[in-house]
Amino acid sequence: EFHPLDEKMRKSAELFDQAKKVIPGGVTANIKYIDPHPIVMEKAEGSKLYDVDQNEYIDYLLSYGALIHGHGHQSVYEAVMTQMQEAGTTIFGTPHKLETTMAEKLISLYPGMEMVRYTNSGLEATLLALRVAKAYTGKSKIAKFEGHYHGGYDQVLLSVNPDHEKAGETVKPNPVPESLGLPEYYQENTIILPFNDFPSTEKILRANSAQISAIIMEPVQGGFIPAEEEFMKSLRSLTEELGILLILDEVKTGFRLSLGGAQMVYGIEPDLTALGKVLGGGFPVGAIGGSKKIMEILAPDGGKDILTAGAENQHKHHALFHSGTYNGHPTVLAAGLATIELLENEDTMDDLFAKTKSLRDQLEELYSRYGISMQTIGLGSIFNIILAEGEIKNYRDMAKVDSSLRKEIDYELLKLGVYTKPLNRYSLSTAHTEKDIARTVEAHEQAIRTVQNC
């Protein structure tokens, strides 16, 4: 009756079958599905996940990059326990000290930040940043790049057709909604731009600048396709010239490219930054930060004195609305602060990068030994494996890559105890060891031999 991915994953298959009856598709987020069934986990420690059948996996998903110190790091655990014990509660529902402590920390690390507000996810952070930008500029449209992810809500679930023939010219892309249930009026307010293509981006922006409040972008698309330095710098100058706010979505790159995110590495100051993932130390979190001038629009009086002429009429009687029962959750912030403190230890980040580079180098060497076209791309502690030659600089380049062999290898890797969702990127943590890396390279070799029958 059950068709487990592997005989040793029977319980996972059974539990998934049960879940499917009460949860659509058996998953709590579409992306968590793996065909024929996801692997159901029940324990974790450091760099390892253990499933319900007691199989062990080296975890390269790390909850989509959030767990930069791996599972159950002692300092993070202790910070959480101490916070709850001392507070006598999980949450106050009122202001508390850690909110300011964390805000001060973020401001000291992120060049573009003078003030901070918290949310409960990365999605909420980008959503809030866009609302702030619209209120501040008095303009209603936004621009985003093809294939960039900012959370699954209506105005940003828009890309181009992955079929190259149907994607349209880069200066005149054919937008396609990325979900059912998206009324056209949302999409009409979103303009699509080609990533790492400044001439086309500039043309589109100049033609629409009067309507565009902000550009939102992942500085490193999907966590692994970096913005070219020149592209980022040119975009910063152009947006300044055109009165368009630049929002850097650093949900993935924050605390991963550097303690001060991608903005530190690229040497640019965005108008607004969205954070999430690592910031919560494994708990749900998000935050936005920006200059005092812009962020004060979030003050209880709506920052009426700083509104531009257009926005003034729009918001005469209303402050900019931002709320959330769990915003600035003390337990979450305690975990986040402990996580950041660990990253501040000398050499921690460098060691993590060196470990990541070592894995990438060894994998590249291995695939080349087997005559397979392969490159790893990424920055810092996240990378992806592309089984193709040629430069990958945006969504359209990725869409052209034939992923069939990679997929076959990824399924073998799951059976061999290397956990990455098929075709997903690799995130590393400070808990990953040299032994994990060696085992991962061995597993790749075995997977290649299996799929190539050699």
| Binding stretches for ligand PMP (CB under 6 A) | 64, 121-123, 126, 149-151, 218, 249, 251-252, 276
Task: Name the minimum Å distance from CB 421 to ligand PMP.
Answer: 12
Taking Cα atoms as reference points, which of 247, 219, 220, 251 lies closest to residue 66? 251
CB of 274 to ligand PMP, least distance (A): 7
Distance CA 397, CA 222 (A): 13
Handedness of CA 32, 37, 38, 41 (dihedral sign): positive
307-337 core/surface letters (b: 16 or more CB in 10 A; e: else): beeebeeebeeeebebeeebbbbbbbbbbbb
Nearest to 40 by CA among 68, 66, 2, 67: 2
Nearest to 337 by CA among 122, 103, 102, 108: 102
Q: How far is the CB of 423 from ligand PMP (least distance, A)?
A: 15
Least gap, CB of 452 to ligand PMP (angstroms): 33
Cα gap 441→291, rounded to integer Å: 45
Pairwise CA distance, residues 314 & 327, whole Å: 26
For ligand PMP, the closer of residues 38 and 302 by Cβ is 38
Residues taking part in catalysis: 149, 249, 277
Sign (positive/negative) of CA torsion 51, 57, 381, 422? negative
Whole-angstrom distance, CA of residue 117 vs CA of residue 188: 29
What is the pairing mode between strands 225-226 and 220-221?
antiparallel
- Closest to ligand PMP by CB, 252 vs 396, is 252
Task: State which residue, 121 or 155, has the beta carbon closest to ligand PMP.
Answer: 121
Residue type, 7: E
Give, for 117, the enclosing helix (H) or strand (E). strand 115-119
Answer whether 110's CB lies under 8 Å from 219's CB.
no
If the CB atoms of residues 55 and 155 are measured against ligand PMP, the closer one turns out to be: 155
Q: How far is the CB of 126 from ligand PMP (least distance, A)?
A: 6
Which residue's CB comes closest to ligand PMP? Answer: 122
CB of 444 to ligand PMP, least distance (A): 25
Nearer to ligand PMP, 70 or 276 (CB): 276
Nearer to ligand PMP, 126 or 381 (CB): 126
